[in-house]
Chain A
């Protein structure tokens, strides 16, 4: 089945540093989504990407949808302690009437920020 390879698995950084994580897949996705999950909570959407090559920002976060539609990266600039959490990429296979609109999640990147 489809798989998303997300890296790195974990990162330990100093406050103020920039962070980069990425996801690759052997499958083409219509949409790439980036989520953050805090302990004991559901994921919260950070950025949604709809078109190949699209570069989108949300505050200190920037994400890009790869040209081949098989990869995406997320950058966080000037990290702060509240950035701590697990970040997931997710690829959308198709909308609901085609393949059910399912999301396939990457393995996650656990971010730790040292003040």
Chain B
């Protein structure tokens, strides 16, 4: 159990356009989802935490107007990169959990989305 599907796996977009990335928990209801950004050969950097039905909490230095996060249901969270620029090119990863799972270290990660802005 505990499967998280992330889509798309790769996307190339033109500078100035917006891109939406979806994160779905397939077999459990994820009360909390996290969005990370990872540059090549680097660690996962937490961008924001989203709880179902409430506004996302962004980490310091992450522009909330640029990275729009919506967690409208217990199985879906979306990250929209607005007005994308080449420096937004990165690997974006989501993870999903619940209170019970988190207490046991149960964070399930999606397979990531490689965003390239040209």
Residues of B within 8 A of A41 (CB): 111-112
Given contacts A108-B43, A110-B41, contact A42 B99 (CB under 8 A): no
CB < 8 Å: which of B4, B6, B32, B112 contacts A96?
Answer: B32
Question: With A42-B6, A42-B112 given, is the CB distance from A96 to B102 under 8 Å?
Answer: yes
* A42 touching B46 in the complex, CB below 8 Å, given contacts A96-B99, A103-B34: no
Q: Considering only CB atoms, which chain A residue lies closest to B4 in the complex?
A: A42
Cβ contact within 8 Å between A103 and B107: yes
Is A107 touching B42 in the complex (CB atoms < 8 A)?
yes
B1: Cβ under 8 A from any A Cβ: no
**Chain A hits for B102, CB < 8 A:** 92, 95-96, 101
A106 to chain B, nearest CB (A): 7
B97-118 contact mask (Cβ, 8 Å, vs A): 1 or 0: 1010011110101111010000
Interface residues of A in 43-92 (CB under 8 A from B): 43-45, 48, 50, 88, 92
Do residues B105 and A33 form an inter-chain contact, with CB atoms below 8 A? Answer: yes
Asked if A100 is at the interface of the complex by the 8 Å CB criterion, the answer is: yes
A106 touches B43 (CB 8 A): yes
User: In this assembly, does A31 line the interface, its C-beta being within 8 Å of a C-beta of chain B?
Assistant: yes
Q: Which residues of B contact A44 (CB under 8 A)?
A: 109
Residue of B nearest to A44 (CB): B109
**A101: B residues at CB distance < 8 A:** 32, 49, 97, 99, 102
Judge if B11 is at the interface, Cβ distance under 8 Å: no
Partner of B105, one of A43, A48, A108: A48
Q: In whole angstroms, how far apart are the Cα atoms of A41 and B5 in the complex?
A: 12
Any A CB within 8 A of the CB of B84: no
11 A-B interface contacts by CB (under 8 A): A1-B60, A40-B9, A41-B111, A42-B111, A43-B44, A48-B104, A102-B46, A103-B34, A105-B43, A107-B42, A108-B42
Residues of A within 8 A of B (CB): 1, 31, 33, 40-45, 48, 50, 88, 92, 95-97, 100-108, 110
